[in-house]
Amino acid sequence: MTEFASGTLTGKNLHLSFGHNHVLRGIDLHVEKGTTASVIGPSGSGKSTLLRVMNRLIEPDQGDILLDGRSVLKDNPDELRQRIGMVFQQFNLFPHKTVVDNVSLALRKLRKLSKEQARSEALEQLDLVGLKHKADSRPANLSGGQQQRVAIARALAMKPEVMFFDEATSALDPELVKGVLALMADLAKGGMTMVVVTHEMGFSRNVSDTVTFMDAGVVVESGPPEQIFTSPRTDRLKGFLSDVL
């Protein structure tokens, strides 16, 4: 993997409510440059919402988001999102475009590259995820695992400083999970700053540098993987781990 122009991402005291539903209740998350933070926790704990708040797909009610130590809340949110790649559970590839056009769309329209240059960069990204030969297929003709790797290539093509993964393997058939996780592990080793919301405890334990356990909109416990998985301190984390492991 190539070197990434990674950044350090910090969320401070993030709050978000939908009406009376207080989804995030003061979340702190610090991801040092080039490290991988995984976020685990039961469904409905606010993990996915946290990702969407940190790239301002949803604006927080309160708190601050810093990229490389500078608050980005006053920036144009579209520009912030160009610096943070995101991969979704449901892939969300654009079905009306070919694989290579999925990857090159933002390069052409946002980076203003020429058609040829955008295509060649997109092909390069597809090569990195092993799917160059599918460049002119439609997403619908790819397996779930292949689609998710295209989605990763699409996000990487923008040369993001941080990558978000929102349960990237949850919608995949079991035999396809490994390929996507291997690619994510490659990115982590390559020095990409990553925030990985996941139910894959193996990945969380073996690949991430820090693990954050969320429940009911708060961070219950966080620390290095050994500490979280071998000596959980709170009953909530102990209970969660005994449910999932």
Q: By the criterion CB under 8 A, which residues form the site for other proteins?
A: 55, 57, 78-79, 81-82, 84-86, 88, 90, 92-96, 105-106, 109-110, 127-133, 137-138, 140-141, 143, 145-146, 149, 151, 154-155, 158, 172, 175-176, 178-180, 182-183, 186
Question: Closest approach of Cβ 138 to other proteins, in Å?
Answer: 7
Considering the complex, state which of residue 140 and residue 245 has its C-beta at the smaller distance from other proteins: 140
Place of tokens 């092993």: 130
Considering the complex, state which of residue 193 and residue 210 has its C-beta at the smaller distance from other proteins: 193
Considering the complex, state which of residue 11 and residue 232 has its C-beta at the smaller distance from other proteins: 11
Question: Closest approach of Cβ 205 to other proteins, in Å?
Answer: 19
Question: What CA–CA distance (Å, rounded) separates 182 from 188?
Answer: 10
Question: Closest approach of Cβ 85 to other proteins, in Å?
Answer: 8
131 and 58 Cβ atoms separated by less than 8 Å: no
Considering the complex, state which of residue 24 and residue 188 has its C-beta at the smaller distance from other proteins: 188
Question: What CA–CA distance (Å, rounded) separates 212 from 47?
Answer: 10
Question: Closest approach of Cβ 83 to other proteins, in Å?
Answer: 8
